Chains A and B, each alone.
Chain A
């Protein structure tokens, strides 16, 4: 019965009800969107990590921690092509090593063009990545040594530039420089992040250094270890070898970082987890603000409706009837806001995921929690005004103008 009473009371002032709920709408939408972004980002990170391949050790330039403080890796120019070659040839546990250099470039074929990532890698790269070819061939050590202008392309490139036609033997252009396509990578389209992974062009790292990126040092060296139980040994040997090659004294810190893909994965997921938490807290605060908004409106509403409350008490409403009515009104408002926020948040997440090229990762947990939390906000912030209403003296309330 109180439910009917509260519903009728809300209906009496639809505009105010909707506006009140709006604070919660924004809060819940923000929570759901940020959590979805976080999940999407984490999925992206995990995908990138698994993309690294099997039994992979990565060598990053620069030290990742200086005196206990972590600094961004990859900025320094300390890894050379020769370092990669030495790792490959002098450490028996390492069966493949590829210095990596990445660029984002516009590529053109005929009158079509496409913005994509160009990876300079050694001929070993596909073995490290465990990535088979669909057709054609991978460039070999000879191509690398001569810095030939050849490329192996992912499925997205075939679709975008050639509309699915066989591109082998065709010439694409990167800033005017011709590249002959000699192989096509098998599609990874079945996986979560397939389309992103397929958006790639592989060229010999020599070609990339000389004609495309303008860099002289490797951004990463991808190394593959023979067996997984040899990973720690290999890590140690790489460290020793590079310290020797870089002529580092015993009191000098490493100017590079050796990490297994698990370690990389851990750092990356940790980072994205922190980001999600941070964004989520901000969104949570906006939910809190929405709650305070509800309390504010309910308080104003109690004053404004003093006479109404007086009437209700006079005709026999008990204190708890009034308390429940106002509590229910606040809860229904915030739940209404919660539902609208969920719908809006799901919409936002989808739009963002579309533009950021992330998988839509809707966390049903987040949806559930956001709803429960918004209901809790309604009860919590509705309680004080409701109690205030319930304690009104009917005689004075009836006299109130």
Chain B
């Protein structure tokens, strides 16, 4: 069964009473489990709107959206919140971690809203597992301000994984990171993808798009190209090609 089925999705924003912004003009898309899709396109092409709809943060004006077989286009705000909590993971450009809150507690957050009545001990155990997955087990008690950008993004990835989502959405995940750290994030993404996690990533950097398996090009609210990525890059290998790795500077306080 497909993870995502979009059928003729339209989204119109009303700014005032006169201006209507037609952000999406009929997008249809099917994602199978295990896909790794890069969504590319100039700003204003509708990438962000598509991500917001895929992420159930917004509802389409028209069209159908099946997520994991469930029709979600017309759900209430609260039902959408539950869908986000259970089936979706978010990774943002600016990490969006809670400040003055330890890495572990940040990762625990989605589970606290799960409503499954998990014990605090179980929540912590799962959060530690997720932290381990991104290789930061020893930073559990660090606050975001005590972590480097790359580490913060890895914590954010751990947070998006902790509730074992069906779909991982990443919005410019490497936008605030240097090349090497960006590659590290791509390495994690490719590893997660190898383990069967479906990924959708918005980026405007063509090189970053090369790490995905499938590439969508958007313009004026439509998908104008949908193709398999040729000569796909593997992040682990690309990292080795970089000049002598400097010791990663960590902000430790």
Residues of chain A at the chain B interface (Cβ within 8 Å) = 1, 4-5, 8, 12-13, 307-308, 310-321, 394-395, 398
Contact = CB atoms under 8 A, between A and B. Distances in A.
Contacts of A395: 52, 57-58
A312 B57 contact: no
A314 B90 contact: yes
A13 B100 CA distance: 8
B81 interface: yes
29 contacts: A1-B112, A5-B112, A8-B105, A12-B100, A13-B100, A307-B96, A312-B113, A313-B81, A314-B55, A314-B57, A314-B84, A314-B90, A315-B109, A315-B113, A315-B159, A316-B81, A316-B82, A316-B84, A316-B86, A316-B110, A316-B114, A317-B81, A317-B85, A317-B113, A318-B113, A319-B77, A395-B52, A395-B57, A398-B92
Nearest to B100: A12
A318 B77 contact: yes
B227 to A, nearest CB: 29
Interface residues of B, number: 28
B72 to A, nearest CB: 14
B98 interface: yes
Contacts of B120: 4
A129 B8 CA distance: 100
A315 B98 contact: no
A317 B92 CA distance: 17
Given A4-B112, A307-B96, A320-B78, A315 B52 contact: no
The 9 tightest CB contacts between A and B, nearest first, are A316-B85, A318-B81, A12-B100, A318-B78, A315-B110, A316-B113, A316-B84, A317-B113, A311-B96
A311 B98 contact: yes
A231 to B, nearest CB: 72
A12 B84 contact: no
B98 A318 contact: no
Interface in B139-154: none
Contacts of B85: 315-317
Given A315-B84, A319-B81, 9 more contacts: A12-B98, A311-B98, A314-B55, A314-B90, A315-B90, A316-B81, A316-B85, A316-B110, A317-B81
Interface in B151-210: 159, 163
B61 interface: no
A317 B86 CA distance: 11
B30 interface: no
Nearest to B163: A316
A333 to B, nearest CB: 17
A8 B84 contact: no
Nearest to A401: B94
Contacts, number: 63
Nearest to B82: A316
Contacts of B55: 314
Nearest to B51: A395
B143 to A, nearest CB: 10
Contacts of B109: 311-312, 315
A319 B84 contact: no
B43 interface: no
Contact of B78 (A307, A308, A319, A394): A319
Interface string B27-57: 0000000000000000000000000100101
B110 A394 contact: no
Most buried by B among A307, A316, A319: A316
A3 B100 CA distance: 18
Interface string B94-115: 0011111100010001101110
B17 to A, nearest CB: 19
Most buried by B among A1, A13, A308: A1
Nearest to A321: B113
Contacts of B97: 311
Contacts of A310: 96
B113 to A, nearest CB: 5
Contacts of A307: 96
Contacts of B81: 313, 316-319, 321
A317 B52 CA distance: 16
Contacts of B90: 314-315
A320 B77 CA distance: 11
Contacts of B77: 318-319
A313 B52 CA distance: 13
B149 to A, nearest CB: 17
Contacts of A398: 92, 96
Most buried by B among A13, A310, A313, A314: A314
Interface string B3-23: 000000000000000000000
B28 to A, nearest CB: 23
Interface string B53-89: 0010110000000000000000001100110111000
A149 B71 CA distance: 105
Nearest to B118: A1
A12 B159 CA distance: 19
Contacts of B114: 316
Contacts of B113: 1, 312, 315-318, 321
A318 B85 CA distance: 10
A35 B167 CA distance: 61
Nearest to B160: A315
Contacts of A1: 112-113
Contacts of A311: 96-98, 109
B86 A394 contact: no
A394 B101 contact: no
Nearest to B87: A316
A253 B10 CA distance: 93
A8 B78 CA distance: 23
Contacts of B82: 316, 318
B157 to A, nearest CB: 13
